[in-house]
Structure 1
Amino acid sequence: MRSLLHSLALLVALLAAVCHAVHPVEVQGQNFVDTVSKKRVMIIGVDYQPGGQAGYKPDSGEDALSNGTVCLRDAALLQQLGVNTIRVYNVSPKINHDECASIFNAVGIYMIIDVNSPLGGESINRADPASSYHVGYLSRIFGIVENFKGYPNTMAFFAANEVINDLGTVKDNPQYIRAVQRDLKNYIAKHSGRTIPVGYSAADVRDVLQDTWAFLQCAIDGDDNDLSRSDFFGLNSYSWCGESADFQTSGYADLVTTFGDSSIPVFYSEYGCNKPEGVARPFNEVQALYGKDMTALSGGLVYEYSQEESDYGLVNINDNTTVTLKKDYDNLQDQFNKLDISLIQSTTPSATQIKSPECDKKLITNSVFDSNFTVPSPPDGAEDLINNGVDDATQGKIVEVKETNVPMAAYGSTGVQIENLAIHPLANDESNTPGGENTSPSGSASAAVPSPSKKGDASRSTGGWTLAVCVFAAVLTLL
């Protein structure tokens, strides 16, 4: 008994500050896999960048994951939507993201992080990749690794996004994408306690798509441990548009044929065509994407959470930080609620292990595409940086989530206020799944004009019940 009490005391002490809600993810063949349960992880996601590129203000300490109250609001709505993954495009390596990362972790939502940004010197220049590949750039992207490696819900890193987007960008860029992937994976191996997948997000430009995938997934000299190859391949595709589209006319059938024998996970890193204009998206493609004909793919991320200039939003973020859901949110939630989660989770990872093809010019179908598989050497200073790490790195860690109630108002698509909006922390090891909820209240309001934001701190829970759930689960494990 004394030994058991000692063990419990130690356990409580360890869990007092941290309670993980998700297990880290790794890549096995075509799949993302939970490192503990060994079950497949299918991405049911949304791209998340409130404020768009303009919301990235590193000099002011602002990015998409810098404001815990905003993340609490959005995590509550994304949890009810049924999301288990977000993609975040622009983050600063110097900003502390503990609160936001911990909130998303608590509700079972993974994060796929882009290491680049739209600011000068913070991404590969597709017009002249050699000029942008230097130790200063590597210091920035390695800083992102340092910042996010400590969060168990950091699912993966995108090394680049749409660097290859037409026939004019197929020379040199493929090799530099592989170089950045190699450098990131070398840094992760040296400075992270776990493997974190690294991959690429491609434009759905059919002239270059298949060759881009073939170039990035192959193994140089047949070495499956070749660090320059992509761990996964994301596809930004908007080919399924409106009610009239289907599996064939959208080109989804062609994509299944192309990627069915992929040796790495393939998923939609962006999807959700907004044509015809002015009409709420029905998201009929969701049933196809997660249906029996597309089990070779690993799901996808809807573009995008908040309404920006490009008109792809699921919600409107009002000037006073309140939120109004769009009909697009309702439609997507309806589609997620129809998913057969048992089918999504049933694929056995070991059944989809496909050996990586050896890099060879024969893999490349377009004569314009550069089929030189020589990857550039790291720039001067990179070896020291990889071996010794980034100076003064901001290293993130999971912290206790004390706030659960959302302090600002949120409104359904008809203007009716959503009552008692809050996050619901999950027990240890769970990721979020669609729960059959309808977030928009029934009825209608005379006007969907948001009230001013509430003043003062958010309503506080006791902060202890989440910890109690984790301790109780751990105690049962010990007993």
Structure 2
Amino acid sequence: MLAFSARPLALLAFLALLIAVVNAVHPVKVQGQDFVDTVTGKRVMIIGVDYQPGGQAGYKPQNGEDALTNGTVCLRDAALLQRLGVNTIRVYNVDPTLNHDDCASIFNAVGIYMIIDVNSPLGGESLNRAEPASSYNAGYLSRIFGVVENFKGYPNTLGFFAGNEVMNDVGSSKENPPYIRAIQRDLKNYIAAHSTRTIPVGYSAADVRPILEDTWAYMQCSLTGSISDPTRSDFFGLNSYSWCGADATYQTAGYNDLVTMFANTTLPIFFSEYGCNKPEGVARVFNEVAALYGKDMTGLSGGLVYEYSQEESDYGLVVINGNGTVTLKKDYDNLQGHYNLLDLALLSSTNPSQTTVTPPKCAASLISGSGFSQNFTIPSPPDGADDLIKNGIKDPVNGKLVQVKETNVPMKAYGSNGVEIKGLAIKILPDDQSNAPSNETTSPSGTAAPSPTASKKGAAVRTGTGAWGVFVAVLAAVVVLL
């Protein structure tokens, strides 16, 4: 039997730790009105896409399926999203009892962060907008705490959405705001008790102008006058579709009004959905991208285009064919073209505030609308919640990064012109990088017949060189040292 000394064994343990975190993006924190890389201290601007293949119908927990359970599908989509130039996806519906390691690790390896919604469209898995008190219970909290447990271990989990458009008109803005803050408090207290790092929690708001400014004011204020108030949003998402068509401008879309409205924000604000599809039947030109990432809007933190795959609502960048192949839409090409024109130096040179941010103290005077809640008495946790927060939920499924060995996409993909995209694969990024536009064009040149929908055999899957290659190299070095 080969005997090992203590020194080589310690070296092995140290190298194993390095291998475990290789190619992991740096976690993100909130600092003032910015997202900030926790290692480099540089600002993180969201260049993203909303990701929910199959739409709400794709959420099938009864079949063990959600948007992040199929590693082969995620490999395909990560390759196309990486080439598009995004660094963030938003995922709406996930089952906390399922394993998401393959998909989360693939997106991590290509430098893409994830913002996860803790709710779903199924009964008991979201707040009841019409009667919030009836759905705010320990069973619901156990479900959303399960999402935290499932995703807290992935360094590319950027944050959690506690709610999406819970207030979508004046009527729904009367009773619901205190409950959203209660959910944020419970999520943040659970994260503080059971996560090794702080993970931001925020809210995604509807762009309903009669209540938008009040929603932001209500969510960003502090009951205590400091940022440590756990009921306060860490970030604020806005689902905005005001920029429609090629003739829209910064002024006609009301972007100038948003910049004025949010000028004094003390938390990050970004578009959690954007990309109007009017006029119907016409490819989106995405002229708003230049404005959103231009010098007039650097006070905001970017945005997420709605949405990756073509669903019934007709907002897709790609069409997922019945056999698993993918065809790009012209919308994808147009968006990629605008991403390639972004001034990344401008975005990275916008220095986050290094000073302590003091949010406004919550008061009725912050609310201008007569119908919006002025009640800042936040509901107490329901029976059983304190025990869940203190001791954790029962039998959580804790996600962790796994090695990404397969890089080639096994199913075919086609450009918007029908020409096959040859050699589609992910590129595992080194040195803790996040993804960024790379001035490439994904749709090949030329013309072809419409892409086929019959089942076809894809390219063979091979072992990638990124993290696995590093593992082999390090292991070889260890053998030499021993």
Q: CA deviation at 1:224?
A: 2.5
Question: What is the number of residues matched between the two proteins?
Answer: 473
Contact 2:322 2:453 in 1 (8 A): no
Residue identity over aligned pairs, in percent, reads 70
- Counterpart for residue 347 of structure 1: 350
Q: Indicate the SS of the match to 1:155.
A: strand
Does the aligned pair in 1 maintain the 2:404–2:464 contact within 8 Å?
A: no
Q: Which residue does the alignment assign to 1:390?
A: 393
In structure 2, what is the Cα distance between the partners aligned to 1:338 and 1:10? 45
Match of 1:70 among 73, 77, 80: 73
1:366 match: 369
Cα gap change, 1:286 to 1:4, in 2 (>3 Å): farther
What is the Cα deviation at residue 350 of structure 1? 2.0
Runs of 4 or more above 6 Å deviation: 2-7
Show the counterpart of 2:305.
302
Provide the C-alpha distance between the structure 1 equivalents of 2:11 and 2:204, rounded to a whole number of angstroms.
45
Contact 2:152 2:399 in 1 (8 A): yes
2:111 aligned partner, one-letter code: G
What secondary structure, in the 3-state scheme, does the structure 2 residue paired with 1:221 have?
coil
User: What is the identity, as a one-letter code, of the residue corresponding to 1:410?
Assistant: A
SS of residue matched to 2:349: coil
Match of 2:55 among 52, 57, 61: 52
Distance 1:247 1:111 in 2: 28
Do the aligned residues in 2 keep the contact of 1:98 with 1:399 (CA within 8 Å)?
A: yes
In the alignment, the residues of structure 1 paired with residue 467 and residue 301 of structure 2 have an alpha-carbon distance, to the nearest angstrom, of 36
Amino acid of the residue matched to residue 363 of structure 2?
D
Q: For residue 130 of structure 2, what is the aligned residue in structure 1?
A: 127
Which consecutive unaligned segments of at least 5 residues does structure 1 have? none
**Cross-structure match for 1:335:** 338
Tell me how far apart the structure 1 counterparts of residues 442 and 257 of structure 2 sit (CA, whole Å): 35
CA–CA separation in structure 2 for the residues paired with 1:352 and 1:256: 22
Residue 471 of structure 1: CA displacement?
Answer: 5.5
Match of 1:391, as an amino acid? Answer: K
Deviation for aligned residue 1:9: 3.8
Deviations 1:175-201 (A, max 9, x none): 000000000000000000000000000
* 1:98 equivalent in structure 2: 101
Contact conserved, 1:23 with 1:35, CA < 8 A, in 2? yes
Amino acid at match of 2:175: D
1:166 to 155, 165, 169: 169
- The one-letter code sitting in structure 1 at the alignment partner of 2:87 is N
Do 2:404 and 2:467's aligned partners in 1 also have CA atoms closer than 8 Å?
no
Q: Does 1:412 align with 2:402?
A: no
CA distance in 2, matches of 1:229, 1:15: 36
* Cα deviation code 1:37-57 (max 9, x no counterpart): 011000000000000000000
Q: TM-score, normalised by structure 1?
A: 0.95
How far did 1:376 drift? 0.2
Distance in 1 separating the partners of 2:52 and 2:45: 21
Tell me how far 1:139 sits from its aligned partner: 0.2
What residue number does 1:432 align with?
435
- Partner of residue 204 from structure 2, selected from 201, 205, 221: 201
Q: Match for residue 83 of structure 1?
A: 86
Report the alpha carbon displacement of residue 461 of structure 1 after superposing the two structures with TM. Answer: 3.6
Taking the aligned partners of 2:291 and 2:391, their CA distance within structure 1 comes to 47
* Alignment partner of 1:444 out of 447, 454, 470: 447
Q: CA deviation at 1:19?
A: 2.2
Query: What amino acid is aligned across from residue 375 of structure 1 in structure 2?
Result: I
Equivalent residues in 2 for 1:217-228, closer than 5 Å:
217-228=220-231
Deviation at 1:221, TM superposition (A): 3.3
Answer whether contact 1:108 1:426 (CA < 8 A) is retained.
yes
Aligned equivalent of 1:20: 23
Give the alignment's Cα RMSD to 1 decimal.
Answer: 2.1
